Amino acid sequence: MIERVLAEFQRIEGVKASILLSESGKEIASLTYDDSLVEPFKNFTLPLLNSARRLCESLGEDLESIQIRTDMGQIVIFKVDGFLLIIVSEQVVNLGLINLQLKQGIEKFREAI
């Protein structure tokens, strides 16, 4: 159950939404109390990711994640084994805890998918 793995991210203080997209941008699963937080990512994640990937390639590096700060909070996009994991949070959130959860979550995502 993929949502269960996402629920572990949701338990982290400040996390508002956890979304799992396929590499093509299709929604696989999401958990949030506000569905309007999911919709924009379906359209804007791939172009954003492609630009970031090209930027990294021109630097001779590989893209692993993108972090965006807004006036309302933070968005972190991780590339995980052919999937995209998006965490939308408030401004104050423990990113270390999200990274730790990501390490544990990768294996669980593989099993669940």
Give me the residues that bind other proteins (CB under 8 A), please. Answer: 1, 3-4, 7-8, 10-11, 13, 31-33
In the complex, minimum distance from the CB of residue 58 to other proteins, in angstroms, rounded to a whole number: 39
E strands, 11-95, are 15-22, 27-32, 65-69, 73-80, 83-90
Least spacing, CB of residue 88 vs other proteins, in Å: 12
Smaller CB separation from other proteins, 34 or 61: 34
Whichever of 80 and 112 has its CB closer to other proteins, that residue is: 112
Nearer to other proteins (CB atom), residue 8 or residue 28: 8
C-alpha span between 6 and 11 (Å, rounded): 9
C-alpha to C-alpha distance for 69 and 75, rounded to whole angstroms: 6
Give per-residue burial for 3-16: e unless 16+ CB within 10 Å, then b: eebbebbeebebbb
Decide whether 23 or 39 has the Cβ nearer to other proteins. Answer: 39
Beta bridge partners of 78: 65, 85
CB of 37: closest distance to other proteins in angstroms?
11
